[in-house]
Amino acid sequence: MPPSPAPPSAPPSPPRRRRPSVRTGPYARLFAAPGTAAFTAGGLLARLPMGMFTVSTVLMIAATRGSYALAGAVTATGLAATAVVAPLTARLVDRLGQARVAVPAVLLAVAAHLLLALCVRTGAPDWTLFACYAATATAPNLGGMARARWAHLHAGDAALRHTANSFEQAADELCFMSGPVLATFLCVALFPEAGTLTAAALLLGGTLLFAAQRRTEPPLARPGAARGPAPLRRPGMPALLVTFLATGAVFGALEVVTVAFADERGRPGLAGAVLGLQAAGSCVAGLLYGLLRPAAALRRRFAVCVTAMAGLMTLPLLAAGAGGLAALAPALLVAGMATAPTMATGMGIVQATVSGDRLNEGMTLAVTALLGGIACGAASGGWAAEHLGGAWGYTVPAVAATLAAATAVPWLSSTGWTRGSSRGAA
């Protein structure tokens, strides 16, 4: 019997194609962790009022009391109170947790803002305005708490921490760029208190959303565990805070001098747009800086950034003297491109210098130094604009940026700026 034919063999299966690997960008990897988008959204909502409250308060008081001097004194009082209260609030955040401190702190701040609007509306005595605005200093530092969350989520990845700091600095620039525009529109188009009321609602809603994201909140230190040294006792922190102070003076002087320069040329309405270009340049530069994978140590990068800021801040002085507003606008756009990388790298050094259980306190000290610098820069810029006039007011931000570089570079070189830290960030 003949053997039965062998069954036909199945056709060979085609070789399986290997799916090409998709290389995700730094920002995609940054937000891959669960809960990051939610706390970022809450943080952005709560930080937008940073650029709204001062402008809203000035416009509200000036429109109802007819005094810019009173409005400026009230906001200066609030800034001084913030310099004292903010580090204490941050210290409580490190000890008790973000949600436990941020929610009652923001409730007090929002109540003070609402009471301020009520006092302005009802014609209460001037001293009540100072008291109310000083009480708003309990508002938590959402930017510092967001950076602390990123530092916790990506504790072992220095590259992603760099991207996170760059993103947060760009977010700050976006808030400072759009906040004053929104506040001005609300106060002028609706009623004088509209800017303050809207900012208070955004601050409350954003902080509650941020605090609700408990799974991304950094854990507290074990009860009874020894705490790290106070941030001001860490080597290099005083010099770093002086650098932040001088950098803040750059921001404060640019704002006042640009408003005065535009008004001197009969175009005061263009001041906001021209300043917006400076913030836009900083915002874009911050986002692009976050895409880089820098190989140099943090201290070396900071030295490069602060030196570049000192050089670029001469551009507004030259442009204002040569071509007026038409030349000033692109000069501010370019000059702003050094500020966000400088701030992002500086915050990275704070994270590498301060112990983890005092991180919020350390970053709040940096922000407080920045705010103090803004106040000093605004006062110096106002004096220069009034007594020197013309383009000479732009000598103030140029000198402040040079002072920042003169403070930072010798300190960095003395510490050995190519030397890393135990946490791999410096």
**121-129 contacts: CB < 8 A, separation 24 or more?**
121/64, 121/193, 123/64, 126/65, 126/70, 129/61, 129/70, 129/74
Tens-digit pLDDT string for the chain (426 aa): 444 444 444 444 444 444 433 456 778 887 887 888 888 888 888 888 887 887 788 778 878 877 767 777 787 778 778 878 888 888 788 788 888 888 999 999 999 999 999 998 888 888 888 898 888 888 888 887 888 888 888 877 777 877 887 888 788 877 877 777 787 788 878 888 888 899 999 999 999 988 888 888 877 766 555 566 666 677 778 888 888 889 888 887 887 788 778 777 777 667 677 777 887 888 888 888 877 776 667 778 888 888 999 999 999 888 888 877 888 888 888 988 888 888 888 888 887 777 666 777 777 788 888 878 877 887 777 788 777 877 888 888 999 999 988 888 776 665 554 444 434 445
Task: Check residue 201 and give its pLDDT.
Answer: 93
Class of domain 231-426: mainly alpha
- Phi, psi for residue 225 in degrees, rounded to 5: -70, 145
Residue type, 272: G
Residue spans of the domains in the chain: they are 35-162+177-219, 231-426
Under 8 Å between Cβ of 87 and 110:
no
Report the alpha-carbon distance of residue 266 to residue 400 in Å, rounded: 27
Cα dist from 420 to 153, 298, 353, 410, whole Å:
21, 8, 11, 17
Task: Check residue 23 and give its pLDDT.
Answer: 55
Task: Check residue 419 and give its pLDDT.
Answer: 45
Task: Check residue 113 and give its pLDDT.
Answer: 92
Task: Check residue 171 and give its pLDDT.
Answer: 82
User: Strand runs (DSSP E) across 203-341, as ranges?
Assistant: none
Cα dist from 34 to 132, 168, 213, 281, whole Å:
39, 18, 10, 31
DSSP state of 33: S
Under 8 Å between Cβ of 145 and 93:
yes
Report the alpha-carbon distance of residue 175 to residue 374 in Å, rounded: 16
Residue type, 242: V
